Amino acid sequence: MRWEQINGNRWTIPETKNGKSHIVTLHPLALSLLKTQRIISEGGWVFESLSKPSFPVTGDAITRALERLKTKYMAEVAPFSPHDLRRSIATGCAEYLDAPERLIELLLNHVPKDRLIRTYQVGQQAEKLRNLFALKWGDFIEHEIIESDNGTPDNVIQISFGKR
């Protein structure tokens, strides 16, 4: 993620695995995190490598950091990877927000498997996606998990990453 890809509350991913750009509307909670990250990040990357300044944090570095967190704080939790976060979002949108399957596929930037849909339903339903992800999912995370009256759930770990 580069700072130049963020414009207001929109993050444009220029090219993805399916060869198309993808627009993500950012929830105010994400914007708040980015504002804090802007103070830390000194270059063009939102999440810069601490060991290689001016380079992004790599997927391998994220996986290694996650492994350290799992070892230290979550030894009893079933194994998972950073990619499993996508599955968690898809599952949460379906189970808690009653999002239709097609909208979840668009949210994940998947190409439809059905040739008819792939050929004739080319619209991205931007407003529905914005409403689902930036508003409903963000609000769900903020209110049901972060601000829960029940305190911090057993399966949530609060961590602070080091600053430069």
Instruction: Check whether 34 has a pLDDT greater than 90.
Output: yes
Q: Is residue 22 part of a domain?
A: yes
What's residue 65's pLDDT?
86
Mean pLDDT on 121-133:
66
pTM of this structure: 0.70
Q: Is residue 120 part of a domain?
A: yes
Percent of residues, the chain, with pLDDT higher than 90: 12
Instruction: Check whether 86 has a pLDDT greater than 70.
Output: yes
Q: Which of 18-27, 70-79, 96-105, 145-154 has the lowest mean pLDDT?
A: 145-154
Q: Which of 34-38, 63-67, 142-146 has the lowest mean pLDDT?
A: 142-146
Q: Is residue 162 part of a domain?
A: no
Instruction: Check whether 63 has a pLDDT greater than 90.
Output: no
Q: Is residue 138 part of a domain?
A: yes
Q: Is residue 17 part of a domain?
A: yes
What's residue 31's pLDDT?
93
Q: Is residue 61 part of a domain?
A: no
Q: Is residue 68 part of a domain?
A: no
Mean pLDDT of the chain: 79
Structural domain boundaries enclosing 36: 3-48+83-146
Buried b (16+ CB within 10 A) or exposed e, 81-117: eeeeeeeebbebbeeebebeeebbebbebeeeeeeee
- Rounded CA gap, 75 and 138, in Å? 28
Mean pLDDT on 24-29:
88
Q: Is residue 125 part of a domain?
A: yes
Query: How many domains does the structure of the chain reveal?
Result: 1
Where are any strands of DSSP class E within 70-158?
Answer: none
